[in-house]
């Protein structure tokens, strides 16, 4: 999930073990939003709290469940992987013919 506002950019990645190293406000907002198993990357030149909040809500509002992703991609829900595509077994990455 990604979000941005003005100069502030945030990216949220799924991860088995959470990594909350970084901005303490983002860390607390993730915990209160119920997103526990994520890591995040913030990038900004200015430390404006309005842009940080707006970018966070832009990113969190794009959250999709596994069933929603499977429905849009036309797959079964157990074949959807949010992780690294080279390490995800059973996905289409390994079933593609050579180019």
Predicted confidence band of residue 4 (pLDDT cuts 50, 70, 90): confident
User: Within a 10 A sphere around the Cβ of 3, how many other Cβ atoms?
Assistant: 19
Residues counted in the chain: 99
Distance in angstroms (rounded) separating the CA atoms of residues 91 and 17: 22
The fold for domain 2-60 equals Ribosomal Protein S5; domain 2 (3.30.230)
Give the HSE-up count for residue 40: Cα atoms under 13 Å, Cβ half-sphere: 29
Per-residue pLDDT tens over the stretch 16-65:
777 778 888 888 888 888 888 888 888 888 778 888 889 999 988 887 77
User: Which pair of tokens denotes residue 50?
Assistant: 């309005």
Q: Where are the domains of the chain?
A: 2-60, 64-91
Quick one: pLDDT at residue 84? Answer: 54
Q: What is the pLDDT of residue 27?
A: 86
Q: Is 95 helix (H, G, I), strand (E, B) or coil?
A: coil
pLDDT at 92: 52
């Amino acid at each position: 999930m990604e979000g941005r506002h003005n100069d502030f950019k945030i990216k949220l990645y799924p991860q088995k073990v959470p990594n909350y190293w970084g901005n303490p406000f983002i860390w607390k907002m993730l915990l209160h939003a119920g997103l526990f198993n994520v890591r995040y990357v913030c990038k900004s030149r200015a430390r404006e709290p309005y842009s940080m909040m707006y970018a966070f809500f832009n990113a969190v509002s794009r959250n999709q469940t596994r069933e929603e992703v499977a429905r849009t991609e036309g797959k079964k829900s157990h074949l959807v992987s949010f992780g690294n595509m080279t390490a995800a077994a059973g996905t289409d990455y390994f079933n593609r013919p050579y180019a």
